[in-house]
């Protein structure tokens, strides 16, 4: 887990949202409050709480070190492919964001993954 947690890292939060009751918002804000460089990714928003929100990983100004996924598994599977294409090798799936197919895709593509562990708990 330590290889995923470093305050020097850039964290791309896929599924970030303006909806304060959703985990896409809670994860983004929790990491930022703890001093992590978390960047929101969601094509539906231009900004979230004053933070520039990027439509996709391709649009980021800086390459992320860890991609944190807060999406349903069918969306997560597409993110695994996108990470593979961009040579991003660390994905953290929030609980509910992965399934057997998603985990197998990570293994097949040799992508390091964390799954079924909430990043907010891991950073306490």
The model's pLDDT over 3-52, given as tens digits with 9 standing for 90+, comes to: 999 999 999 999 999 999 999 999 999 999 999 999 999 999 999 999 99
Q: Where do we find the tokens 């609980």? A: 95
Write down the pLDDT at residue 116: 87
The band of 82, judged by pLDDT with boundaries at 50, 70 and 90, is very high
Q: What percentage of the chain exceeds 70 in pLDDT?
A: 99
CATH class of the domain whose range is 2-122: alpha beta
Write down the pLDDT at residue 97: 97
DSSP for 22-38? SHHHHHHHHHHHTT-EE
Domain ranges for the chain, please list them: 2-122
Q: Check the CA dihedral 123-109-101-74 and report its sign.
A: positive
Are 64 and 11 in contact by the 8 Å Cβ rule? The answer is: yes
- Confidence check: pLDDT of 1 > 70: no
**Segment holding 79, helix H or strand E:** helix 73-85
* Contacts with 89 (C-beta within 8 Å, 6 or more apart), sequence order: 83, 110, 111, 112
pTM above 0.85, yes or no: yes
Quote the CA–CA distance of 52 and 46 in Å, as a whole number: 6
Exposed/middle/buried for 85, CB within 10 Å: 0-12, 13-18, 19+? exposed
Are 79 and 103 in contact by the 8 Å Cβ rule? The answer is: no
């Amino acid at each position: 887990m330590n290889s995923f947690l470093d305050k020097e890292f850039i964290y791309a939060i896929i599924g970030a949202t303006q909806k304060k009751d959703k985990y896409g918002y809670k994860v983004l804000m929790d990491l930022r409050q703890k001093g992590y460089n978390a960047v929101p990714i969601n094509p539906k928003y231009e900004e979230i709480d004053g933070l520039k929100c990027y439509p996709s990983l391709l649009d980021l100004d800086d390459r992320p070190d860890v991609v944190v996924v807060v999406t349903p598994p069918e969306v997560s599977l597409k993110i695994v492919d996108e990470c593979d294409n961009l040579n991003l090798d660390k994905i953290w799936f929030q609980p509910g964001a992965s399934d057997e197919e998603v985990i197998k895709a990570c293994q097949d593509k040799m992508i390091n993954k964390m799954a079924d562990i909430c990043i907010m708990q891991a950073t306490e």
